[in-house]
Amino acid sequence: MSRADAPLTPKEQADYDRQGELIAMELRWEDDLRAAGHEVPDAMDGVRWGPKTR
């Protein structure tokens, strides 16, 4: 079994779980801001696609 196919170590699993908690917290925060009438940009707002220009 290659490392890519191996199960997560306990530390990797904890890191993965923590990342999920942080994402959920950010989504709740954005929902609360929207509910209070604030404008919250979408995650991809302001992203420039394509080649860089000077």
Q: Which residues contact 16 (CB under 8 A, 6 or more apart)?
A: 8
Q: Which residues contact 34 (CB under 8 A, 6 or more apart)?
A: 40
Full pLDDT tens readout for the chain, 54 residues: 677 789 999 999 999 999 999 999 999 999 999 999 998 887 767 767 777 665
pLDDT of residue 51: 76
Structure tokens at 39: 């404008």
Rounded-to-integer distance, Cα 29 and Cα 23, Å = 10
Q: Whose structure tokens read 């170590």?
A: 9
